[in-house]
Structure 1
């Protein structure tokens, strides 16, 4: 093999090495750029507001269903706007539903971090006894420190609550039951007192009618309820 052939081979090897180095370097730069973009995106997301919407019991075990809007992110959410499909309905009546829809779809200019807004929607047993919608799609738009936040869409399925979280074993329900029982007992006492009063008046009138002229009737103590 002559010297010219060896030189040509060396040149080809050098070119291939340079091309390989260029491709490797390009891939490394591309990977680094992608990693930097992902890191930047993660950092941006960490300081973005995160507004969520949900329908759940007011407190665990409560019979009251409420619509919640909450900013669980670390920064202020601005220009929060929700749309709900279909519009919220309530077994409490059309007026309640209209007020609820107006409240939750109104633009919220500022929603601070960890701030929660709660709106009464329904009573669970009334809702689940009705044929009202059980599935709602909520779309949330807002802005953060870097401008508009990515649109979030939630599907809320109320049937998930029907056999789970909603129960009557709660302080709120126990208080309600005690209040109802107290009301019934008070009404029973009032009826008993009224009956005893009528009996006292009847006895007094009968004695008054039978007493001799010129004699005072004996004093009668009213019966104790």
Structure 2
């Protein structure tokens, strides 16, 4: 019996994402952003979202669309990037921000999808990442409303030397949104080059993973050795076509 995970539209795919939901979203800068799914969430009017993603797009693209509409309450990110609205909302207390080192963020997502509750890493030892005090939300007057808590630090023997490691908790979310170049009806996905970035990790972290794909193929058409994310992690697939708009965050050219 075939398991067909396809849905007809992006709106249908995100219809049960409710107010206050937690999301893991693939993408790096503007590369690999699941724009059809993000736009469908904007249209749905859902609010209070708590999003884990490397960054928050730009003012008029990527997750920046949800931010501009006031639909995101918290971001867990490693990079604020080029988004002026992100900066404004954070500094005025409209947005909570959990800044996380990029490699740590990737591993927190992977751990969440692998059933690992937490892990120790050297990244952040001796800084506010471990010691606490990082502003997570400001008051409108600029004073700190919420600061990060201290994390557990433990020593481990590394090549005969005791070193400090900080405990980081896994990220597990209600939903994951990712963009893939090709997918089949069983949810097996192939990403295009650097658009792979955080997407497999974000997909793993979501209890319900929703994938938009440029091209939908039948089960068995994909070479098993070429699949980047097996369908066991994916619950819904929506085809968005190959002519979708793809933006470049910062275009660099040189004179001819």
**Structure 2-normalised TM-score?**
0.17
Higher Cα radius of gyration = 1
For normalisation by structure 1, the TM-score amounts to 0.18
